[in-house]
Amino acid sequence: MTQKTILFDLDGTLTDSGEGIINCASLALTHFGLPVPDREAMRVFVGPPLRDTLMQFGVRPGDVEEAMTVFRSRYLTKGKYENKPYPGIRELLEQLRSQGHKLYVATSKPEIQAVDVLNHFDLAKYFDIIAGATMDKARDSKAAVIAYLKDQAGDMAQSIMVGDTAFDVTGAAAHGIPTIGVAWGYGQVADMEAAGAIAIAGTPEELFQLLQK
């Protein structure tokens, strides 16, 4: 079997972090007196860069940093633990590691938070590198995170991205990496397909089979 380099998104792919992220985003919007839509509409906060989504919901560009501070004041103490691994993910990672594949995390979440969450759920041990956004904005997009991973990991032949949004697809495509989308997360399957996802997995078991090809 050809060994692959598999890049995983975090929120909406490995863990269901929606409750915590939505609660913290609601707090940030309320802080500025902005309307808080229903939770279904707020699902778009899971996955994309936080700065962009806050402005999409009415936060003015000059207020974004303050909004992010309000968000993180709750997220760092409580919100990041309103979270849980999706059923079957641990078993998937164990299977892939046993086959000798290299596993990385490529997330738009701040790296320090991603490491904390993965350690909390005892998932960090499956990954060679956990890469995310930096607080100084040097890495603030999926494409930038993947560029960093390529610098750190060296040879990334037979690479493939796994994620739940079109941002994962386009960020990986910027580096010539194909993406398998997952249907259990917070993105829209149609959006991932339109962005060029090569396949969509409905369950971790289906994802495992797709990664065998």
Domain with residue 72: its CATH number is 1.10.150.240
Q: Are residues 41 and 129 in the same domain?
A: no
Residues 103, 158, single domain; the answer is yes
**What does the block give as tokens for 119?**
């350690």
CA nearest neighbour of 67 among 112, 26, 18, 10: 26
How far, in Å, CA of 4 to CA of 45, rounded? 30
Buried-state track 189-201, b at ≥16 Cβ within 10 A, e below 16: eeebeebebebbb
Same domain assignment for residues 186 and 141 = yes
Taking the C-alpha atoms of residue 157 and residue 169, their distance in angstroms, rounded to an integer, is 18
- Say yes or no: 187 and 96 in one domain: yes
Counting residues of the chain whose pLDDT is more than 70, the rounded percentage is: 100
Residue 169, pLDDT score: 98
Higher pLDDT, 86 or 154: 86
The span from the CA of 178 to the CA of 162, in Å, is 9
Residues 49 and 96 in one domain: no
Residue 1's pLDDT is what? 64
Is 9 assigned a catalytic role? yes
Question: Is residue 157's pLDDT more than 80?
Answer: no
Q: Residue 172: how many CB atoms within 10 A of its CB?
A: 27
Task: Give the residues across from 180 on adjacent strands.
Answer: 162, 199
pLDDT value, residue 3: 86
When pLDDT is averaged across residues 70-86 and rounded to a whole number, the result is 95
The pLDDT assigned to 200 comes to 98
**CATH number of residue 139's parent domain:** 3.40.50.1000
Same domain, 104 and 76: no
Domains of the chain: total: 2
Regarding whether 166 and 69 lie in a shared domain, the answer is: no
Q: Are residues 113 and 207 in the same domain?
A: yes
Judge if 101 and 203 occupy the same domain: yes
End position of a domain, from candidates 59, 81, 103 = 81
The pLDDT tens digits for 91-117 are 999 999 999 999 999 999 999 999 999
Q: What pTM did the predictor assign?
A: 0.90
- Residue 103: strand pairing partners: 6
Domain region containing 63: 18-81
| pLDDT beyond 90 at 155 | no
